[in-house]
Structure 1
Amino acid sequence: MLGMVLAAGAGRRLRPYTDTLPKALVPVDGETTILDIALRNLAAVDLRDVVVIVGYAAQAVHDRKADLERRHGVRLTLVHNDKAEEWNNAYSLWCAREYFGQGALLVNGDTVHPVSVEQTLLSAPATTDILLAVDDVKTLGEEEMKVTLTEDGYLREITKLMDPARAYGEYIGATLIRPGAAERLADALKATFERDPQLYYEDGYAEMVARGEKIGVAPIGTVDWVEVDDHNDLAKARRIAARYTEPVS
Protein backbone atom coordinates (compact mmCIF):
# COMPACT_ATOMS: atom_id res chain seq x y z
CA MET A 1 0.00 0.00 0.00
CA LEU A 2 1.10 3.53 -0.83
CA GLY A 3 0.72 6.86 0.87
CA MET A 4 -0.85 9.53 -1.33
CA VAL A 5 -1.00 13.29 -0.82
CA LEU A 6 -3.16 15.63 -2.87
CA ALA A 7 -1.00 18.76 -3.06
CA ALA A 8 -1.85 20.46 -6.35
CA GLY A 9 -3.95 23.34 -5.03
CA ALA A 10 -3.10 27.03 -5.26
CA GLY A 11 -4.56 28.15 -1.93
CA ARG A 12 -5.23 31.70 -3.08
CA ARG A 13 -6.78 32.68 0.26
CA LEU A 14 -3.38 32.08 1.89
CA ARG A 15 -1.50 34.73 -0.06
CA PRO A 16 1.20 36.00 0.18
CA TYR A 17 2.51 32.56 1.25
CA THR A 18 1.02 30.94 -1.82
CA ASP A 19 2.28 33.53 -4.27
CA THR A 20 5.21 31.16 -4.85
CA LEU A 21 4.29 28.00 -2.89
CA PRO A 22 1.52 25.43 -3.10
CA LYS A 23 -0.70 25.34 -0.05
CA ALA A 24 0.93 22.10 1.13
CA LEU A 25 4.26 23.90 1.61
CA VAL A 26 2.91 26.65 3.84
CA PRO A 27 4.75 26.46 7.20
CA VAL A 28 2.68 25.71 10.29
CA ASP A 29 5.30 25.06 12.96
CA GLY A 30 8.63 26.79 12.46
CA GLU A 31 9.96 25.34 9.20
CA THR A 32 7.54 22.41 9.35
CA THR A 33 4.99 22.57 6.52
CA ILE A 34 1.62 20.91 6.08
CA LEU A 35 3.31 18.45 3.70
CA ASP A 36 5.93 17.62 6.33
CA ILE A 37 3.17 16.64 8.74
CA ALA A 38 1.43 14.50 6.12
CA LEU A 39 4.63 12.66 5.23
CA ARG A 40 5.57 12.18 8.86
CA ASN A 41 2.19 10.64 9.60
CA LEU A 42 2.43 8.28 6.63
CA ALA A 43 5.94 7.23 7.57
CA ALA A 44 4.79 6.60 11.15
CA VAL A 45 2.36 3.94 9.87
CA ASP A 46 5.10 2.52 7.60
CA LEU A 47 3.75 3.90 4.33
CA ARG A 48 7.08 5.06 2.98
CA ASP A 49 6.35 5.00 -0.75
CA VAL A 50 4.29 8.13 -1.25
CA VAL A 51 2.67 9.56 -4.37
CA VAL A 52 2.33 13.35 -4.22
CA ILE A 53 0.01 14.94 -6.76
CA VAL A 54 1.39 18.36 -7.64
CA GLY A 55 0.21 21.16 -9.88
CA TYR A 56 0.30 24.80 -8.78
CA ALA A 57 3.91 25.86 -8.04
CA ALA A 58 4.98 22.25 -8.57
CA GLN A 59 8.63 23.23 -8.93
CA ALA A 60 8.72 24.16 -5.24
CA VAL A 61 7.91 20.54 -4.36
CA HIS A 62 10.46 19.26 -6.87
CA ASP A 63 13.09 21.52 -5.31
CA ARG A 64 12.40 20.08 -1.84
CA LYS A 65 11.87 16.46 -2.88
CA ALA A 66 15.27 15.12 -1.82
CA ASP A 67 15.14 16.96 1.49
CA LEU A 68 11.61 15.73 2.23
CA GLU A 69 12.68 12.17 1.48
CA ARG A 70 15.67 12.48 3.80
CA ARG A 71 13.73 14.09 6.62
CA HIS A 72 10.94 11.55 6.71
CA GLY A 73 12.52 8.38 5.36
CA VAL A 74 10.13 8.20 2.43
CA ARG A 75 10.38 7.75 -1.34
CA LEU A 76 8.34 10.29 -3.27
CA THR A 77 6.79 9.93 -6.70
CA LEU A 78 5.48 13.24 -8.04
CA VAL A 79 2.45 13.09 -10.32
CA HIS A 80 1.60 16.24 -12.29
CA ASN A 81 -1.88 17.70 -12.64
CA ASP A 82 -1.64 19.78 -15.81
CA LYS A 83 -4.93 21.58 -15.09
CA ALA A 84 -4.39 22.47 -11.43
CA GLU A 85 -5.16 26.14 -11.93
CA GLU A 86 -8.19 25.51 -14.14
CA TRP A 87 -10.01 22.44 -12.80
CA ASN A 88 -10.94 21.19 -9.35
CA ASN A 89 -9.55 18.18 -7.55
CA ALA A 90 -11.71 15.38 -9.01
CA TYR A 91 -9.37 15.61 -11.99
CA SER A 92 -6.37 16.01 -9.70
CA LEU A 93 -6.98 12.69 -7.94
CA TRP A 94 -7.76 10.99 -11.28
CA CYS A 95 -4.26 11.94 -12.43
CA ALA A 96 -2.90 9.38 -9.93
CA ARG A 97 -5.24 6.60 -11.07
CA GLU A 98 -2.44 4.26 -12.16
CA TYR A 99 -1.43 3.93 -8.49
CA PHE A 100 -4.86 3.07 -7.08
CA GLY A 101 -4.33 -0.62 -7.80
CA GLN A 102 -1.57 -0.80 -5.19
CA GLY A 103 -3.93 0.52 -2.54
CA ALA A 104 -3.43 3.96 -1.06
CA LEU A 105 -4.01 5.97 2.05
CA LEU A 106 -4.93 9.36 0.61
CA VAL A 107 -4.61 12.56 2.63
CA ASN A 108 -5.37 16.09 1.51
CA GLY A 109 -2.34 18.34 1.42
CA ASP A 110 -4.11 21.10 3.32
CA THR A 111 -5.04 19.35 6.57
CA VAL A 112 -3.17 19.19 9.86
CA HIS A 113 -4.14 16.16 11.91
CA PRO A 114 -2.45 13.58 14.16
CA VAL A 115 -1.30 10.13 13.04
CA SER A 116 -4.23 8.62 14.93
CA VAL A 117 -6.33 9.37 11.83
CA GLU A 118 -4.14 7.12 9.65
CA GLN A 119 -4.12 4.49 12.38
CA THR A 120 -7.92 4.55 12.58
CA LEU A 121 -8.26 3.96 8.84
CA LEU A 122 -5.67 1.20 8.67
CA SER A 123 -7.06 -0.68 11.66
CA ALA A 124 -10.68 -0.66 10.48
CA PRO A 125 -12.29 -3.93 9.30
CA ALA A 126 -12.02 -4.46 5.54
CA THR A 127 -15.75 -4.35 4.81
CA THR A 128 -15.58 -1.84 1.94
CA ASP A 129 -13.02 -0.94 -0.72
CA ILE A 130 -13.16 2.77 0.20
CA LEU A 131 -13.18 4.06 3.77
CA LEU A 132 -13.51 7.73 4.74
CA ALA A 133 -12.23 9.34 7.95
CA VAL A 134 -15.10 11.33 9.46
CA ASP A 135 -15.29 13.75 12.38
CA ASP A 136 -18.64 13.10 14.04
CA VAL A 137 -17.88 15.34 17.04
CA LYS A 138 -17.32 18.91 15.86
CA THR A 139 -20.04 21.49 15.27
CA LEU A 140 -20.51 21.90 11.54
CA GLY A 141 -20.99 24.99 9.38
CA GLU A 142 -21.54 25.78 5.72
CA GLU A 143 -17.99 25.19 4.42
CA GLU A 144 -17.48 21.66 5.70
CA MET A 145 -17.61 18.56 3.46
CA LYS A 146 -20.55 16.96 5.21
CA VAL A 147 -21.77 13.38 5.10
CA THR A 148 -24.94 11.47 5.86
CA LEU A 149 -25.18 7.71 6.33
CA THR A 150 -27.56 4.93 5.37
CA GLU A 151 -29.40 3.00 8.05
CA ASP A 152 -26.68 0.34 7.96
CA GLY A 153 -23.89 2.88 8.38
CA TYR A 154 -22.54 3.38 4.87
CA LEU A 155 -22.12 6.67 3.02
CA ARG A 156 -25.38 8.09 1.65
CA GLU A 157 -24.40 11.69 0.77
CA ILE A 158 -21.19 13.70 0.73
CA THR A 159 -21.39 17.39 -0.13
CA LYS A 160 -20.81 20.87 1.21
CA LEU A 161 -24.31 21.78 0.03
CA MET A 162 -26.17 20.32 2.98
CA ASP A 163 -27.94 21.68 6.04
CA PRO A 164 -25.41 21.04 8.83
CA ALA A 165 -28.27 19.87 11.07
CA ARG A 166 -28.81 16.87 8.76
CA ALA A 167 -25.18 15.76 8.72
CA TYR A 168 -23.65 12.82 10.54
CA GLY A 169 -20.26 14.51 10.46
CA GLU A 170 -17.49 15.98 8.33
CA TYR A 171 -15.18 14.13 5.96
CA ILE A 172 -11.73 15.29 7.01
CA GLY A 173 -9.77 14.65 3.83
CA ALA A 174 -8.33 11.19 4.51
CA THR A 175 -9.40 8.05 2.64
CA LEU A 176 -8.28 4.44 2.59
CA ILE A 177 -8.47 3.20 -1.00
CA ARG A 178 -8.16 -0.57 -1.21
CA PRO A 179 -6.84 -2.12 -4.45
CA GLY A 180 -10.23 -3.53 -5.43
CA ALA A 181 -11.64 -0.01 -5.85
CA ALA A 182 -9.06 1.10 -8.41
CA GLU A 183 -10.94 0.84 -11.71
CA ARG A 184 -14.31 1.84 -10.29
CA LEU A 185 -12.90 4.90 -8.52
CA ALA A 186 -10.98 6.03 -11.61
CA ASP A 187 -14.11 5.67 -13.76
CA ALA A 188 -16.28 7.58 -11.26
CA LEU A 189 -13.75 10.40 -11.03
CA LYS A 190 -13.58 10.62 -14.83
CA ALA A 191 -17.36 10.80 -15.09
CA THR A 192 -17.36 13.48 -12.41
CA PHE A 193 -14.90 15.91 -13.97
CA GLU A 194 -16.30 15.29 -17.44
CA ARG A 195 -19.70 16.36 -16.09
CA ASP A 196 -18.20 19.47 -14.50
CA PRO A 197 -14.44 20.07 -14.16
CA GLN A 198 -15.06 22.22 -11.07
CA LEU A 199 -16.33 19.30 -9.01
CA TYR A 200 -14.47 17.78 -6.05
CA TYR A 201 -13.12 14.25 -5.80
CA GLU A 202 -15.68 13.75 -3.07
CA ASP A 203 -18.27 14.15 -5.84
CA GLY A 204 -16.60 11.10 -7.34
CA TYR A 205 -17.43 9.22 -4.16
CA ALA A 206 -21.02 10.43 -4.50
CA GLU A 207 -20.98 9.12 -8.07
CA MET A 208 -19.88 5.71 -6.81
CA VAL A 209 -22.70 5.67 -4.25
CA ALA A 210 -25.18 6.60 -6.98
CA ARG A 211 -23.92 3.58 -8.93
CA GLY A 212 -24.69 1.31 -5.99
CA GLU A 213 -21.26 1.18 -4.34
CA LYS A 214 -20.89 0.90 -0.59
CA ILE A 215 -18.40 3.36 0.94
CA GLY A 216 -17.55 3.02 4.60
CA VAL A 217 -16.84 5.66 7.22
CA ALA A 218 -14.49 5.56 10.20
CA PRO A 219 -15.14 8.06 13.03
CA ILE A 220 -11.87 9.59 14.23
CA GLY A 221 -13.02 10.45 17.74
CA THR A 222 -12.21 13.68 19.54
CA VAL A 223 -9.23 14.98 17.59
CA ASP A 224 -7.81 18.47 17.06
CA TRP A 225 -7.38 18.96 13.33
CA VAL A 226 -7.94 21.69 10.77
CA GLU A 227 -8.34 22.12 7.03
CA VAL A 228 -6.21 25.12 6.13
CA ASP A 229 -8.13 27.28 3.66
CA ASP A 230 -7.47 30.80 4.90
CA HIS A 231 -5.42 32.78 7.42
CA ASN A 232 -7.79 32.03 10.30
CA ASP A 233 -7.36 28.32 9.62
CA LEU A 234 -3.62 28.80 9.41
CA ALA A 235 -3.58 30.43 12.83
CA LYS A 236 -5.44 27.41 14.22
CA ALA A 237 -3.05 25.04 12.48
CA ARG A 238 -0.14 26.78 14.11
CA ARG A 239 -1.76 26.43 17.52
CA ILE A 240 -2.20 22.69 17.18
CA ALA A 241 0.67 21.60 14.92
CA ALA A 242 3.37 21.67 17.57
CA ARG A 243 1.50 19.00 19.53
CA TYR A 244 1.64 16.64 16.58
CA THR A 245 5.16 17.24 15.32
CA GLU A 246 8.75 17.01 16.35
CA PRO A 247 11.36 19.55 15.28
CA VAL A 248 12.51 19.01 11.69
CA SER A 249 16.26 18.41 11.51
Structure 2
Amino acid sequence: MHAVILAGGKGVRLRPYTTTLPKPLVPIGDQYSILEIVLHQLAAQGFASVTLAIGHLGHLIRSYVGDGERWGLRVDYAPEDSPLGTIGPLLAMRELPDDFLVMNGDILTDLRYGELLATHRAAGAHLSVATYRREVKIDFGVLTTTAGRITEFAEKPSFDYRVSMGVYALNRAVLDRYTPGLPLGFDELVLDQLAAGQGPLDFAFEGYWLDIGRPDDYDRANAEFDALRPALLGSRG
Protein backbone atom coordinates (compact mmCIF):
# COMPACT_ATOMS: atom_id res chain seq x y z
CA MET A 1 0.00 0.00 0.00
CA HIS A 2 1.21 3.47 -0.90
CA ALA A 3 0.25 6.86 0.55
CA VAL A 4 0.82 10.41 -0.65
CA ILE A 5 1.02 12.99 2.14
CA LEU A 6 0.39 16.60 1.15
CA ALA A 7 2.86 18.64 3.18
CA GLY A 8 3.57 21.66 0.99
CA GLY A 9 1.28 24.34 2.44
CA LYS A 10 2.45 27.47 4.24
CA GLY A 11 0.17 26.96 7.24
CA VAL A 12 -0.83 30.64 7.24
CA ARG A 13 -3.81 30.11 9.56
CA LEU A 14 -1.59 28.44 12.15
CA ARG A 15 0.86 31.29 12.54
CA PRO A 16 2.90 32.08 14.61
CA TYR A 17 3.56 28.34 15.09
CA THR A 18 4.41 27.92 11.42
CA THR A 19 6.70 30.93 11.09
CA THR A 20 9.82 28.75 11.29
CA LEU A 21 8.35 25.22 10.97
CA PRO A 22 6.19 23.64 8.27
CA LYS A 23 2.82 22.71 9.73
CA PRO A 24 3.36 18.91 9.61
CA LEU A 25 6.39 19.33 11.90
CA VAL A 26 4.76 21.33 14.69
CA PRO A 27 5.03 19.28 17.92
CA ILE A 28 2.08 17.54 19.52
CA GLY A 29 2.31 16.57 23.18
CA ASP A 30 5.89 17.89 23.41
CA GLN A 31 7.20 14.63 21.95
CA TYR A 32 5.93 13.91 18.44
CA SER A 33 5.29 15.99 15.35
CA ILE A 34 2.01 15.58 13.47
CA LEU A 35 3.89 14.00 10.58
CA GLU A 36 5.69 11.52 12.82
CA ILE A 37 2.35 10.33 14.20
CA VAL A 38 0.95 9.89 10.68
CA LEU A 39 4.02 7.98 9.45
CA HIS A 40 3.89 5.68 12.45
CA GLN A 41 0.20 5.00 11.83
CA LEU A 42 0.73 4.22 8.15
CA ALA A 43 3.59 1.82 8.89
CA ALA A 44 1.59 0.09 11.64
CA GLN A 45 -1.32 -0.41 9.24
CA GLY A 46 0.74 -2.11 6.55
CA PHE A 47 1.74 0.72 4.24
CA ALA A 48 5.14 0.15 2.67
CA SER A 49 5.88 3.44 0.93
CA VAL A 50 5.05 7.13 1.13
CA THR A 51 5.50 10.11 -1.18
CA LEU A 52 5.74 13.47 0.57
CA ALA A 53 4.61 16.42 -1.54
CA ILE A 54 6.65 19.30 -0.13
CA GLY A 55 6.93 23.03 -0.76
CA HIS A 56 7.18 25.64 2.00
CA LEU A 57 10.18 24.81 4.24
CA GLY A 58 10.33 21.43 2.52
CA HIS A 59 14.04 21.05 3.29
CA LEU A 60 13.15 20.76 6.98
CA ILE A 61 10.74 17.93 6.23
CA ARG A 62 13.41 16.14 4.16
CA SER A 63 15.91 16.52 6.99
CA TYR A 64 13.45 15.24 9.60
CA VAL A 65 11.99 12.28 7.69
CA GLY A 66 14.93 11.22 5.52
CA ASP A 67 14.29 7.98 3.67
CA GLY A 68 11.68 6.81 6.21
CA GLU A 69 13.77 3.89 7.45
CA ARG A 70 13.11 4.55 11.13
CA TRP A 71 9.39 3.98 10.50
CA GLY A 72 9.99 0.97 8.27
CA LEU A 73 8.80 2.95 5.23
CA ARG A 74 10.28 3.90 1.86
CA VAL A 75 9.86 7.65 1.55
CA ASP A 76 10.42 9.76 -1.55
CA TYR A 77 9.64 13.41 -2.26
CA ALA A 78 7.74 15.47 -4.81
CA PRO A 79 8.87 19.12 -4.59
CA GLU A 80 6.29 21.78 -5.40
CA ASP A 81 7.70 25.04 -6.80
CA SER A 82 4.36 26.86 -6.73
CA PRO A 83 1.02 26.04 -5.07
CA LEU A 84 -0.82 23.34 -7.02
CA GLY A 85 -3.84 22.69 -4.82
CA THR A 86 -4.76 19.40 -3.22
CA ILE A 87 -4.73 17.18 -6.30
CA GLY A 88 -2.30 19.10 -8.55
CA PRO A 89 0.88 17.65 -6.97
CA LEU A 90 -0.27 14.12 -7.88
CA LEU A 91 -0.29 14.83 -11.61
CA ALA A 92 3.49 14.81 -11.90
CA MET A 93 3.94 11.60 -9.89
CA ARG A 94 4.68 8.96 -12.53
CA GLU A 95 5.10 5.82 -10.44
CA LEU A 96 1.90 5.73 -8.44
CA PRO A 97 0.18 2.34 -8.03
CA ASP A 98 -3.26 1.74 -9.48
CA ASP A 99 -4.93 2.64 -6.17
CA PHE A 100 -3.37 4.71 -3.42
CA LEU A 101 -4.12 6.86 -0.38
CA VAL A 102 -3.90 10.67 -0.35
CA MET A 103 -4.05 12.69 2.84
CA ASN A 104 -3.32 16.11 4.25
CA GLY A 105 -0.27 16.28 6.48
CA ASP A 106 -1.95 18.24 9.27
CA ILE A 107 -4.67 15.96 10.67
CA LEU A 108 -4.92 13.81 13.78
CA THR A 109 -7.26 10.84 13.52
CA ASP A 110 -7.55 7.18 14.46
CA LEU A 111 -9.02 6.38 11.05
CA ARG A 112 -7.94 2.99 9.69
CA TYR A 113 -6.20 4.13 6.51
CA GLY A 114 -5.70 0.59 5.27
CA GLU A 115 -9.39 -0.18 5.68
CA LEU A 116 -10.29 2.88 3.61
CA LEU A 117 -7.97 1.79 0.81
CA ALA A 118 -9.21 -1.82 0.93
CA THR A 119 -12.86 -0.68 0.78
CA HIS A 120 -12.03 1.59 -2.16
CA ARG A 121 -10.36 -1.25 -4.06
CA ALA A 122 -13.15 -3.73 -3.34
CA ALA A 123 -15.75 -1.28 -4.64
CA GLY A 124 -13.77 -0.52 -7.79
CA ALA A 125 -14.21 3.16 -6.99
CA HIS A 126 -12.53 5.99 -8.86
CA LEU A 127 -12.43 8.21 -5.77
CA SER A 128 -13.28 7.48 -2.15
CA VAL A 129 -13.59 10.16 0.51
CA ALA A 130 -13.36 9.70 4.27
CA THR A 131 -16.22 11.76 5.73
CA TYR A 132 -17.10 12.96 9.22
CA ARG A 133 -20.32 14.29 10.73
CA ARG A 134 -20.18 17.92 11.83
CA GLU A 135 -22.93 19.73 13.71
CA VAL A 136 -23.22 23.44 12.96
CA LYS A 137 -25.17 25.51 15.49
CA ILE A 138 -26.74 28.80 14.45
CA ASP A 139 -26.74 31.41 17.23
CA PHE A 140 -29.70 33.34 15.83
CA GLY A 141 -33.36 32.85 15.15
CA VAL A 142 -33.58 31.66 11.54
CA LEU A 143 -36.45 32.92 9.39
CA THR A 144 -37.86 31.65 6.11
CA THR A 145 -39.68 34.32 4.11
CA THR A 146 -41.93 34.22 1.05
CA ALA A 147 -43.34 37.26 -0.75
CA GLY A 148 -42.56 39.57 2.16
CA ARG A 149 -44.05 37.26 4.81
CA ILE A 150 -42.31 35.11 7.40
CA THR A 151 -43.43 31.55 6.76
CA GLU A 152 -41.17 29.59 9.12
CA PHE A 153 -39.13 30.30 12.24
CA ALA A 154 -36.53 28.22 14.11
CA GLU A 155 -34.78 29.44 17.25
CA LYS A 156 -31.03 28.73 17.18
CA PRO A 157 -31.27 25.57 15.06
CA SER A 158 -28.45 23.12 14.42
CA PHE A 159 -27.65 21.32 11.19
CA ASP A 160 -25.71 18.13 10.54
CA TYR A 161 -23.32 17.86 7.59
CA ARG A 162 -20.85 15.29 6.39
CA VAL A 163 -17.50 16.92 5.69
CA SER A 164 -14.35 15.73 3.99
CA MET A 165 -11.65 14.65 6.45
CA GLY A 166 -8.80 15.39 4.06
CA VAL A 167 -8.15 11.67 3.51
CA TYR A 168 -8.95 10.03 0.16
CA ALA A 169 -8.32 6.93 -1.90
CA LEU A 170 -7.82 7.38 -5.64
CA ASN A 171 -7.51 5.26 -8.72
CA ARG A 172 -4.60 6.53 -10.81
CA ALA A 173 -6.69 6.60 -14.00
CA VAL A 174 -8.79 9.43 -12.55
CA LEU A 175 -5.82 11.76 -13.06
CA ASP A 176 -5.28 11.01 -16.77
CA ARG A 177 -7.57 13.78 -18.03
CA TYR A 178 -5.64 16.55 -16.27
CA THR A 179 -2.47 18.41 -17.30
CA PRO A 180 0.61 18.04 -15.06
CA GLY A 181 2.01 21.29 -13.73
CA LEU A 182 -1.36 23.03 -13.47
CA PRO A 183 -3.21 23.60 -10.16
CA LEU A 184 -6.07 21.23 -9.41
CA GLY A 185 -8.20 21.39 -6.30
CA PHE A 186 -10.09 18.60 -4.58
CA ASP A 187 -13.32 20.51 -5.22
CA GLU A 188 -12.68 20.49 -8.97
CA LEU A 189 -11.98 16.77 -8.96
CA VAL A 190 -15.19 15.96 -7.06
CA LEU A 191 -17.32 18.19 -9.30
CA ASP A 192 -15.80 16.59 -12.41
CA GLN A 193 -16.53 13.13 -11.05
CA LEU A 194 -20.13 14.08 -10.28
CA ALA A 195 -20.56 15.58 -13.75
CA ALA A 196 -19.29 12.32 -15.26
CA GLY A 197 -21.80 10.30 -13.26
CA GLN A 198 -19.07 8.73 -11.13
CA GLY A 199 -20.05 9.84 -7.66
CA PRO A 200 -17.23 9.25 -5.15
CA LEU A 201 -17.54 6.54 -2.51
CA ASP A 202 -18.43 7.80 0.97
CA PHE A 203 -16.27 6.18 3.67
CA ALA A 204 -18.16 7.34 6.77
CA PHE A 205 -16.08 7.58 9.94
CA GLU A 206 -17.23 8.21 13.51
CA GLY A 207 -13.99 8.07 15.51
CA TYR A 208 -11.56 10.85 16.41
CA TRP A 209 -10.65 13.49 13.83
CA LEU A 210 -9.09 16.91 14.19
CA ASP A 211 -7.94 19.15 11.35
CA ILE A 212 -5.16 21.29 12.85
CA GLY A 213 -5.76 24.42 10.83
CA ARG A 214 -5.89 27.18 13.45
CA PRO A 215 -4.18 27.96 16.78
CA ASP A 216 -7.33 26.89 18.65
CA ASP A 217 -7.20 23.49 16.93
CA TYR A 218 -3.52 23.13 17.80
CA ASP A 219 -4.15 23.98 21.46
CA ARG A 220 -6.97 21.43 21.54
CA ALA A 221 -4.73 18.74 20.02
CA ASN A 222 -2.12 19.28 22.71
CA ALA A 223 -4.72 19.33 25.48
CA GLU A 224 -6.28 16.05 24.30
CA PHE A 225 -3.12 14.22 23.25
CA ASP A 226 -2.34 12.35 26.48
CA ALA A 227 -5.80 10.78 26.50
CA LEU A 228 -5.67 10.03 22.77
CA ARG A 229 -2.12 8.67 22.68
CA PRO A 230 -3.09 4.95 22.86
CA ALA A 231 -5.65 5.32 20.06
CA LEU A 232 -3.28 7.31 17.83
CA LEU A 233 -0.03 5.43 18.48
CA GLY A 234 -1.05 1.99 19.78
CA SER A 235 1.65 0.17 21.68
CA ARG A 236 4.12 2.97 20.94
CA GLY A 237 1.91 5.35 22.91
Shorter-chain TM-score above 0.5: yes
Find out whether 1:202 has 2:195 as its counterpart: no
Match of 1:185 in 2: 175
Gaps of 5+ in 1: 143-163
Residues 24 and 105 in structure 2, CA contact (< 8 A), matched pair in contact too = yes
Find out whether 1:172 has 2:157 as its counterpart: no
Residues 226 and 233 in structure 1, CA contact (< 8 A), matched pair in contact too = yes
> Deviation at 1:170?
0.9
Task: Judging by fraction of residues, say which structure has more strand.
Answer: 2
In 2, the alpha carbon distance for the partners of 1:71 and 1:26 equals 19
String of CA shifts for 1:12-67, please: whole Å, max 9, x gaps.
1222321222111111122311111211111111112101100111110111123x
String of CA shifts for 1:98-135, please: whole Å, max 9, x gaps.
24444211111011111x33144134242413211111
Residues 41 and 233 in structure 2, CA contact (< 8 A), matched pair in contact too = no
In 2, the alpha carbon distance for the partners of 1:120 and 1:109 equals 19
Aligned counterparts, 1:126-137, within 5 A? 126-136=123-133
Find out whether 1:117 has 2:107 as its counterpart: no
1:104 is matched with which residue: 97, 100, 105?
100
Match of 1:148 in 2: none
Greater Cα radius of gyration, structure 1 or 2: 2
Aligned-partner residue type, residue 109 of structure 1: G
How many aligned positions are there? 212
Report the 3-state secondary structure (helix = DSSP H, G, I; strand = E; otherwise coil) of the residue aligned with 2:202: strand
The alpha-carbon distance between structure 1 residues 102 and 224, as it changes in their structure 2 partners (threshold 3 A), is same
Task: Judging by fraction of residues, say which structure has more helix.
Answer: 1
Match of 2:219 in 1: 235
In 1, the alpha carbon distance for the partners of 2:9 and 2:236 equals 24
In 2, the alpha carbon distance for the partners of 1:211 and 1:234 equals 38
Gaps of 5+ in 2: 139-157
In 2, the alpha carbon distance for the partners of 1:128 and 1:102 equals 11
Residues 127 and 216 in structure 1, CA contact (< 8 A), matched pair in contact too = no
Identity %: 23
Match of 1:34 in 2: 34
In 1, the alpha carbon distance for the partners of 2:190 and 2:52 equals 20
TM-score with structure 1 length normalisation?
A: 0.74
In 1, the alpha carbon distance for the partners of 2:202 and 2:126 equals 11
